[in-house]
Structure 1
Amino acid sequence: MDKINLLIIVTVISLFISLFLALFLLTVKTKHKTSNALFALYLIITAIDASEPLLSLLSDRPSNLGMLRNTLAFLQIPVFYLYVVSVCYSDFKFKPKYILHLLPFLIVNVVLLPHFYTVDAASKISFIMNRQNMIELQFTHVFFHIQIVVYLIAVFMLLRKAKKLYLENYAGTNINSYNWLFQFTVVLTILYLIVVFKNIFKFSDYSFISEYIKIGILVFQLFICCWYLFKALNNPGLFRNIDSKLKLVSDINLEEKNNKPETTNEKEYNEELLKLKKYMAEEKPFLNPSLTIQNVSENIGMPTRALSVLINHHLGQHFYDFVNTYRIENAMDILKDASKSKVTILEILYEVGFNSKSSFNTAFKKHTGNTPTAYRKSL
């Protein structure tokens, strides 16, 4: 099988899976329609970008439509960024400012307008044949890679902040969503690095090497699509968002320092802490797997901001870890109880407020140094 046939086969498979997943995301019944639509759009743009080997079979002459297809790559990473924002924040809505993400795509097409879009076919062929000397294509090439770097940095910063906000305000197991999104972004980063590597050869005397790398990219895209599909089908409730109006405790402290001098009332602090611990021990709200800091603040009559600072700043724990400590202590009591020796680990984790075995095992080992099974055997 020669290189051309292999490229066509891989392209067809990649297009089929990408478009199938996009259709699945657009039609599946879910509360997260916006997120699904954005990722479906990302997949469609990626599929159009990857379709070049098939389109070249129909016509290998440069055209305005073909160049427009190439420049659609400038919409890929902005759409992915908006997808991540929509996943992280429950109150995500399209705003006029998001139109700014179209600017790179528009700028590139305006740059190409005089010497490509508005010239005749012969001039288009000459433009492509002499692409190494065309300043417009050099600009497009550099601009594309700058865009990738800027957006990927923005995505990683967004995920870092969103995960911290989740840990400070929620005690569910959906932290796995952010861990998975981080992993997914790392994989996409690797993909884009391979694209950069391919483009280096594309504009060199060894352009044939970029064709082989292109096959590898298409295979890698197949892997990413299949991985995402596997996650979506096996974890339909994977993504649960946070409120974008929430602030990090570090930002709250900074605001308070700027507004007024910090006054520490040790007696008041101790009273609030005792009130919180009494509520946790007597009412056991941690048994609720979807517990939030707002739930606790409402029940003990303490402002959410003050409670967040009390736990995350004064106790030096994220709300997530604070609640999990009570859950693990409760699980340890059950494991120590000889009358409950036949209760399974799975039953225990659900009983104490977890709804994920991996999260329970991670939290238990972090608290005790042992897995639940090893802890039970050591008693």
Structure 2
Amino acid sequence: MDKINLLFIVTIISLFISFFLAFFLLTVQTKHKTSNSLFALFLILCAIDSSEPLFNLFMTGPSNLGMFRASFAFLQLPVFYLYVLSVCYADFRLKPKHLLHLLPFIISNLILTPRYYSVDLASKISFLQNRQDMIELQFNHTLINAQIIAYIIAVFLILKKAKKLYLENYSGTSLNAYNWLIQFTGVLTFLYFIAIVKNVFKFSDYPAISEQLKIYGLVLHLLIVCWYLFKALSNPGLFRNVDSKLKLVKNIISEEINNPQLAVNEKEYSEDLLKLKHYMTTEKPFLNPSLTIQDVSKDIAIPVRDLSLLINHKLEQHFYDFVNTYRIESAMEILKDTSKNKVTVLEILYEVGFNSKSSFNTAFKKHTGNTPTEYRKAL
């Protein structure tokens, strides 16, 4: 099988899976409509970008449609950026200001209008044959490379902040899904890095390397889409959003420094701490795998802001770790109980509020230095 036939096969499979997954995301009944729609759009845009080998099969020469199709690459990362925002924050809504993300796409097409879109076929051919000397193409490739770097950095910054907010306010298993989203973004970063290198070689003395990287990019795109399809089908409830109005503890502390009236005195902290510990030991709210700091705040009548400072700052523990400590202590009591020797580790982790074996093992080893199985054997 020659390279061209392999390229067509990879392209067709990639397009089929991308559009199938996009259709699934757009039609499935879920409360996360915005996130699903944005990711479906991202898949469609990537499919359009990767369809070049198939597109060229039906086009006899350069065309406005072909160039316009290529410019859709400017929309991929802005849509992915909005998707990450919608996944991370439950209160995300698309707003008119988000149309600003269209600017690179619009600019790239506008500068091509005088010497490509509005000229005859012969001029288009000449334009592409002399691509290395065409300032418009050089500008567009520089622009998309800069866009890739800027959006990738922006996405990682969003994920970094979302993780801190999650650890300070939530105790469920969404951290596992968050870690997957980090992995997915990391793989995409590698894919776009290949695209940047490909663009560099396209305007060098080694255009053949650019074509080779294009093939690697198409194969990697197919693998990424297949991976996401597997994850989407095996984990339909992937990731739990956080409230974007939540403040990081470091920002709350900064507010206290600037406005002393907001500060809580040590006596109040001591009283709140006693109330919190009594509540945790008597009511055992940690048995709820989806417990949030808002739930605790409501039950013990301490404002979320003060409670967040108490746990995340005064106790120097994230809320996530604070709750897991009680879960692990409860699990240790069960493991010590000789009458419950036949209760499996899996049953115990569900009983104490975990619903992920990996997160339970990680938290247990962090707290005791041993895995649950090792701890039970050592008793």
Q: TM-score, normalized by length of structure 1?
A: 0.98
Partner of 1:71: 71
CA contact (8 A) 1:74 1:105 kept: yes
Aligned to 1:341: 341
1:290 aligns to what SS in structure 2? coil
For 1:128 and 1:97, locate their aligned partners in 2 and report how far apart those are by CA, in whole Å. 35
Q: Which residue of 2 aligns with 1:202?
A: 202
* Superposition map of 1:345-360 within 5 A: 345-360=345-360
Distance 1:240 1:130 in 2: 50
Displacement after TM superposition at 1:90 (Å): 0.7
Contact 2:256 2:263 in 1 (8 A): no
The verdict on how the C-alpha distance between 1:242 and 1:263 changes in structure 2, with shifts beyond 3 A counting, is: closer
Deviation at 1:200, TM superposition (A): 2.0
Matched ranges for 1:1-379 at <5 A: 1-260=1-260, 265-379=265-379
Out of 226-235 and 140-149, give the one that drifted further: 226-235
**Distance (whole Å) between structure 1 residues aligned to residue 162 and residue 267 of structure 2:** 33
**For residues 212 and 17 of structure 1, what CA distance do their matches in structure 2 show?**
23
What amino acid maps onto 1:226 in structure 2? C
CA distance in 2, matches of 1:169, 1:284: 17
**What code does the residue aligned with 1:24 have?**
F
- The alpha carbon displacement at 1:5 in A equals 1.5
Distance 1:267 1:8 in 2: 71
CA, structure 1 residues 96+262, in 2 after alignment: closer, same or farther (shift >3 Å)?
A: closer
Q: Distance in 1 between matches of 2:171 and 2:264?
A: 28
Query: What amino acid is the match of 2:171?
Result: A
Q: Deviations over 1:125-181 (max 9, x none)?
A: 111110000000000010000000000000000000001001101111111121111
The answer as to whether partners of 1:170 and 1:291 remain within 8 angstroms in 2 is yes
Counterpart AA for 1:180 = W
CA contact (8 A) 1:10 1:215 kept: no
Residue 232 of structure 2 aligns with an amino acid whose one-letter code is A
C-alpha displacement at 1:82, in angstroms?
0.4
Deviation of 1:268 (Å): 2.3
Paired residues of 2:255 and 2:262 also in contact (CA < 8 A): no
Shifted more, 335-344 versus 203-212: the winner is 203-212
Quick one: distance in 2 between partners of 1:255 and 1:115? 55
Give the AA of the match of 1:31: K
What are structure 2's unaligned runs of at least 5 residues? none
Unpaired segments ≥5 residues, structure 1? none
Q: Using structure 2 for the length normalisation, give the TM-score.
A: 0.98
Confirm or deny: 8 A CA contact 2:264 2:306 kept in the other structure: no
- 3-state SS of 1:291 partner: coil
Contact preservation (8 Å) 1:63, 1:121: yes
Identity of aligned residues (%): 72
Of the structure 1 ranges 111-120 and 79-88, higher mean CA displacement relative to structure 2 is found in 111-120
